[in-house]
């Protein structure tokens, strides 16, 4: 699958890495690190060199408990960075936003993919995404960032997340956004307990069976800290393990802070998969 992202292409015929670039003062992992436009540009170019197939730019933190950012503040954060990046990057730029105004401005500045944790549920978001003509990633989130971790409950988290995402796919299609433009993200850590996250990962094939590309964001997540007692700085090895496990279960795009390490791990997984495919073909 090859997605046209505003004139730059994202090849999802094999698993790829999405590099995270937060232009925020308060994101859980790298808040404040790339608030300066030049540092953001340098980091984006570094991630591209490390193997990122797309750079995901966000101007509003969606960590648990985070408050909203105004449209004007978010625009001031992301548009100058995207404008600078689009001229120097060869890979597509993704805009991580819930706001239709930001979607429109970001795409006009050069972004080629909309990554919406709210799955285009904000008023005007469906219309903005349709008009943009770029691919869209629809994510599941229970509640909103301020409340999503307040005792989330599901009867069957995998079935409910899948049903929600397919409902949003139907809403997109009804609004004129073709299925071929859509990606799905189960939203690890967005209104889920550790057990919910593990169930989603264990049964990720059920989401991949929809035929739509699956995006996962497991990098440095709090579930690692809760399971292993690690702070954010110590979560890289577990993040790499989760990335490989997700790809083995059907993920096509892995959102990561540590691009080089994640890309290298996925190359090793791909090499092993090629050998297995050859051996399987020879036995038939």
- Least confident range from 75-79, 110-114, 172-176: namely 75-79
Q: State the chain's mean pLDDT as an integer.
A: 92
Q: Is the pLDDT of residue 34 over 60?
A: no
| Top-confidence residue, 16 or 282 | 16
Q: How far apart are CA 55 and CA 42, in angstroms?
A: 12
Q: How far apart are CA 266 and CA 262, in angstroms?
A: 6
- Least confident range from 34-43, 223-232, 257-266: namely 34-43
Residue 66 pLDDT = 66
Closest-CA residue to 43 (of 85, 11, 76): 85
Beta strands 113-116 and 214-217 are unpaired
Q: Is the pLDDT of residue 135 over 90?
A: yes
Residue 174 near residue 120, CB atoms below 8 Å: no
Residue 117 pLDDT = 95
Q: What does the chain come to in residues?
A: 284
* Alpha-carbon separation of residue 164 from 168, 170, 171, 210, 254 (angstroms): 6, 10, 11, 13, 21
Residue 179 near residue 210, CB atoms below 8 Å: no
Q: How far apart are CA 191 and CA 91, in angstroms?
A: 31
Only one residue has tokens 């469906």, namely 126
Distance of alpha carbon 43 from its chain centroid, rounded?
Answer: 18
Residue 161 pLDDT = 97
**pTM value?**
0.92
Beta strands 54-58 and 16-22 are parallel
- Least confident range from 8-17, 56-65, 74-83, 205-214: namely 56-65
- Least confident range from 112-126, 141-155, 160-174, 266-280: namely 141-155
Q: Is the pLDDT of residue 105 over 90?
A: yes
Residue 54: pLDDT band (50, 70, 90) is very high
Residue 61 pLDDT = 80
- Phi–psi pair at 278, nearest 5 degrees: -65, -45
Residue 153 pLDDT = 87
What helix, strand, coil percent values describe the chain, rounded to 5?
45, 15, 35
Beta strands 16-22 and 251-256 are parallel
Residue 146 pLDDT = 67
- Phi–psi pair at 188, nearest 5 degrees: -55, 125
Q: How far apart are CA 226 and CA 234, in angstroms?
A: 12
What residues are labeled active site?
Answer: 221, 255
For 200-219, what is each residue's pLDDT tens digit?
999 999 999 999 999 999 99
Percentage above 90 pLDDT, the chain: 81
Average pLDDT over residues 43-65: 91
Q: How far apart are CA 182 and CA 168, in angstroms?
A: 10
Q: How far apart are CA 46 and CA 43, in angstroms?
A: 5
């Amino acid at each position: 699958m090859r997605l046209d992202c505003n004139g730059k292409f994202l090849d999802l015929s094999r698993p790829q890495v999405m590099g995270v670039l937060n232009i925020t003062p308060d994101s859980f992992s790298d808040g404040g690190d790339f608030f300066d436009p030049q540092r953001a540009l340098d980091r984006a170019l570094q991630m591209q060199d490390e193997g990122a197939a797309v750079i995901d730019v966000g101007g509003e933190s969606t960590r648990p408990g985070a408050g909203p950012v105004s449209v004007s503040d978010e625009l001031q954060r992301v548009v100058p960075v995207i404008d600078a990046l689009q001229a120097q990057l060869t890979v597509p730029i993704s805009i991580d936003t819930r706001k239709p105004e930001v979607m429109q401005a970001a795409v006009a500045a050069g972004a080629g993919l909309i990554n919406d944790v709210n799955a285009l549920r904000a008023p005007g978001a469906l219309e903005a995404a349709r008009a943009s003509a770029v691919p869209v990633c629809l994510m599941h989130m229970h509640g909103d960032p301020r409340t999503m971790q307040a005792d989330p409950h599901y009867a069957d988290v995998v079935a409910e997340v899948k049903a929600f995402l397919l409902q949003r796919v139907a809403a997109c299609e009804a609004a004129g956004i073709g299925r071929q433009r859509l990606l799905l993200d189960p939203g690890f850590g967005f209104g889920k307990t550790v057990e919910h996250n593990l169930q989603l990962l264990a049964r990720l094939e059920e989401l991949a069976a929809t035929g739509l590309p699956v995006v996962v964001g497991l990098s440095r997540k709090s579930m690692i800290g809760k399971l292993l007692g690690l702070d954010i700085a110590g979560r890289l090895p577990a993040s790499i393990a989760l990335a490989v496990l997700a790809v083995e279960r059907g993920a096509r795009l892995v959102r990561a802070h540590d691009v080089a390490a994640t890309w290298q791990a996925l190359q090793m997984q791909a090499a092993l998969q090629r050998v297995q495919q050859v051996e399987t073909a020879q036995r038939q």
